Chain A
Amino acid sequence: MTEAEVSYHAIRNSVAFAEEPELRCLQLTGSQAFDALDAVCPCDIFLQDGQMKHTLLLDDTGIPFADVYVCREGENAYLIGYGSGADEIANWVTYHATGITDFSIVDLGESYDNLTIDGPYAWELCAEVFGPDILGLPYLGMLVLDAMFVFRAGRTGEYGYHLLVPTDQKERWVENLLATGAAFEMARADESVRAQCVLESFFFDINREGQYHLTPLELQLQWRLSSQKTTYPGAEALHTLRHSGWTRRLTCFATPDPVNADAEITCDDEIVGHVLVAGYSPARGDCVGKALLNEPYWHAGLDAFQVGGIPLKTISTPAINNLSLKVSPYRHSFHTRAEDLS
């Protein structure tokens, strides 16, 4: 197997490790920290202690510029995610939190490094390396463990954890991970392999379809928006679009052969959309992608399309069935996986 194939196999079947320096993590402190988040985030900021919520940061035209989670731990708020620099996000929050002054923002990236662990047995490796408390952490939960922050969230469709460890401890934790991970057939996963897993799971990728200036309505991300709030940045633009209606939508597809980004999609010689992202899916044995399709062709389950002579069918998401759905931290183990899942 190639290095990429080993990485992919680890994410889908055992556990994989990545450093992901592009993951931003900001800590907001002060009596108005949550008021500031409430002013700028399009989701409702009702968070219990240790809870995370997946949302977006939008510009004034309603286009996402960051793919983020908002989190609560004690009296502190956290904003973690992808898509912009930490300074850019901090300045943007400060600018838009009009009249809210009693809060401050710290870029945890200055003193912490991120380690991302994904895979159906990520929970088991994390428990062995970082301690058993991780086993009880629910999806979209966070905890502070000694000097590190643990966030349970991933974009591969498998169990996923982001661990922010103090920079001066990073090498020690990486050595521990590599040493313990050997028994789990752990592999390092680079950005391209992780991006392919994100694509298969139909998670939003700010660096791919996020570059096409599409709103959450076109991206099928309305679940990340509050149905009640009306005052966040971009709200007016989205309200206008909702009122007028939108006529194209991000839709998952499969093709037997590779297709290129920006290729035209036709139906009976009529152009009905474009490919935005595509790539080979080892789990499926064909290519999967995300297309921007016009109404009424934007539905899953249609096999009436072509891309330059290659047949294209639209499919429901996610494109694969993840092994993590069958793996339970309470009943299974990587070391007994053959018997567990037979």
Chain B
Amino acid sequence: MRPELKEKIERRENTLNRVIELLISGLQLDRSYEELDPDTPLFGTGLGLDSVDAVEIVVALESEFGISLEEGDSMFALRTINSLVDVVLRQSEENLDDGS
């Protein structure tokens, strides 16, 4: 495997692990890490979270990763675990580019 792909996969896995741990601990989910698939829906079906949980996630993302969700973005960013990971990775890269 090419080094840059290996690095990209590792970065994705690490972020995915941290997001799942954040969901389990922050929302007291009755699920183990292995039971939470990356494309699990967060609201309605899937984990069945509600609007209070959404606020918890937004606050936890800011605390854990230093990222903030714009109001327009959150509707789409909060759809699955993977979509949360996308936002974290994208904003982390933007922060690096900005030097912040």
Residues of A within 8 A of B (CB): 54, 139-140, 202, 220-223, 225, 227-228, 242, 249, 251-252, 267-268, 296-297, 299-302, 304, 316-318, 321, 325-326
Contact = CB atoms under 8 A, between A and B. Distances in A.
B16 A299 contact: yes
A300 B75 contact: no
A252 B12 contact: no
16 contacts: A139-B44, A139-B45, A140-B44, A220-B39, A220-B40, A222-B36, A222-B40, A223-B46, A227-B30, A249-B37, A251-B39, A252-B39, A268-B2, A300-B39, A316-B86, A317-B79
Interface in B1-55: 1-2, 5, 8-9, 12-13, 16, 30-32, 34-41, 44-47
Contact of B9 (A302, A318, A325): A302
A92 to B, nearest CB: 24
B40 A316 contact: no
A282 to B, nearest CB: 19
B12 A321 contact: no
B60 interface: no
A124 to B, nearest CB: 19
Given A228-B30, A301-B89, A317-B82, 11 more contacts: A139-B44, A223-B40, A223-B45, A223-B46, A252-B39, A267-B1, A297-B9, A300-B38, A301-B12, A301-B86, A318-B79
Interface residues of B, number: 32
B27 to A, nearest CB: 14
A268 B34 CA distance: 29
B76 interface: yes
B31 A227 contact: yes
Contact of A222 (B35, B83, B85): B35
Nearest to B81: A316
Contact of A317 (B9, B30, B39): B39
Contacts of B36: 222-223
Nearest to A326: B75
Given A242-B34, A300-B82, A316-B82, A321 B76 contact: yes
Contacts of A296: 9, 13
Contacts of B83: 316-317
B61 to A, nearest CB: 16
A299 B9 CA distance: 7
Contacts of B44: 139-140
A325 B42 CA distance: 14
Contact of B12 (A54, A220, A302, A325): A302
Contact of A299 (B34, B38, B45, B75): B38
